[in-house]
Structure 1
Amino acid sequence: MQLNPYLNFNGQCETAFKFYEKCLGGKITAMLTFGSSPMAEQTPPEWHDKIMHARLAVGEAVLMASDASPEHYEKTRGMSVALNTDKPEEAERIFAALSENGAVQMPIQPTFWAARFGMLIDQFGIPWMINCE
C-alpha cells in the first residue's frame, strides 16, 4: 500500500508542479489537461488548459494534484505536506526554495526532535513541514 498527497489548486497546478519539480529535484511523470481528456467536449473552453491530473515523482515518493473548478476549490487547511530528508543542508535548501514568495510559519532550525525542522505555506497556498531527523 502507498499513501500519496493529492493537492487541489485554483488554476495554478501546472505552474506549481513545475516549481516543485525544480525545488525538489523530482520529475513530472503526468500532466493531463482537461482539453486533452475524454471529457474535453463537456469542459468549458477556458478550462481546456487546466490540469485534470498531475503526478510528480521524487525518489520513491509521489505527489499528485489537479486544478479544482472555482465552485469546488477550497483553500488548503488542516493538513501539510511533510517532507523528510537525511541531510540538514538539503532540508535548508528545500525550505528556502519552497518558501520563495510564500510565508514562513516556523523558520527552519534545530529542535529537540530534529536536526532541522521548519514550516511554511508556499506561494500556491500549500502548507509544508520540512524535517531532518
Structure 2
Amino acid sequence: MFINPYLNFAGNTEEAFNFYKSILGGEFAMLQRFSDNPDADKLPEDTRNMIMHIALPIGNNVLMGTDAPESMGFKLNMGNNSFLCLCPDSREDADSIFNALSEGGQQTMPMQDMFWGAYYGVLTDQFGVQWMINYQPQQ
C-alpha cells in the first residue's frame, strides 16, 4: 500500500504542474483531460480541456492533481484543495479502509468501478481530512 498527495486547483493545474516539473524534474506519468471522459459531451465546453488527472513521479512518491471547476460543483477554499490518495493492495482492503475512515465522516463518492479501470471512492473523515481510495488492479 502507498499514499500520495493529491492537489486540487481552480483551473490552473497544468500551469502548476509544469512549474513543479521545471523545479523537481521528471516526466508526467499520466495526463488526462476532462475531454478523455466518456461523458465529455455532457461537460461545459470550457471544462473539457482542463486537467482531470495528472501525475508527476517524485522519487518513490507521486504528486497528483486535478482541476476542480465550479461548473462541476466544486468550490475550492484553502484547506479543501488537498487530499491523501491511498492505494491499497486489494479491493477488499479498499472497502475495509474506506468504510473505517468513513465512520463519523462523510462519503462523497462511494467505492465503485471507474472508467479508468480503478475501484475508487472519496470521503472526508471525522477530522476533516479528505481521502481518495484508489485500488488499481495489476494489469
Q: Please give the range of the TM-score, normalised by the shorter of the 2 chains.
A: 0.5 to 0.7
Q: How large is the RMSD of aligned CA atoms in angstroms?
A: 2.2
Q: Residue in 1 aligned with 2:37?
A: 37
Question: Following superposition, which runs of at least 4 residues in structure 1 exceed 4 angstroms of deviation?
Answer: none
Q: Which residue of 2 aligns with 1:11?
A: 11
Displacement of 1:77: 2.2
Question: For each residue in 1:59-113, what CA deviation from the matched residue of structure 2 results, as whole angstroms up to 9, or x when unmatched?
Answer: 2110111000224131232898xxxxxxxxxxxxxxxxxxxxxxxxxxxxxxxxx
- Alpha-carbon distance, 1:35 to partner: 1.2
Indicate the SS of the match to 1:3. Answer: strand
- Rg (Cα) greater in structure: 1
Secondary structure in 2 aligned to 1:11? coil
- Find the counterpart in structure 2 of residue 73 from structure 1: 75
Gaps of 5+ in 1: 81-133
Q: Unpaired segments of 5 or more residues in structure 2?
A: 83-139
**2:93 counterpart residue number:** none
Percent of pairs identical after alignment? 39
Gap change, CA 1:45 and 1:31, over 3 Å in 2: same
Do 2:9 and 2:81's aligned partners in 1 also have CA atoms closer than 8 Å?
Answer: no
Asked whether the 8 Å contact 1:8–1:73 carries over to 2, the reply is: no
How far residue 39 of structure 1 moved from its aligned partner, in angstroms, is 2.3
Q: What is the match of residue 135 of structure 2? A: none
TM-score by length of structure 2 reads 0.52
Q: Rate the CA distance shift 1:47–1:3 in 2: closer, same or farther, 3 A.
A: same
What is the distance in 1 between the residues matched to 2:18 and 2:80?
Answer: 24
The TM-score normalised by the length of structure 1 is: 0.55
* Equivalent residue number for residue 27 of structure 1: 27
CA contact (8 A) 1:10 1:68 kept: yes
Following TM superposition, by how much is the alpha carbon of 1:30 offset from its aligned partner in structure 2, in angstroms?
1.0
Query: 1:1-133 maps to which residues of 2 (within 5 A)?
Result: 1-70=1-70, 71-77=73-79
Q: Secondary structure at the match of 1:49?
A: coil
Question: Following the alignment from structure 2 to structure 1, what is the Cα–Cα distance between the partners of residues 81 and 67?
Answer: 18
Q: How many residue pairs were aligned?
A: 81
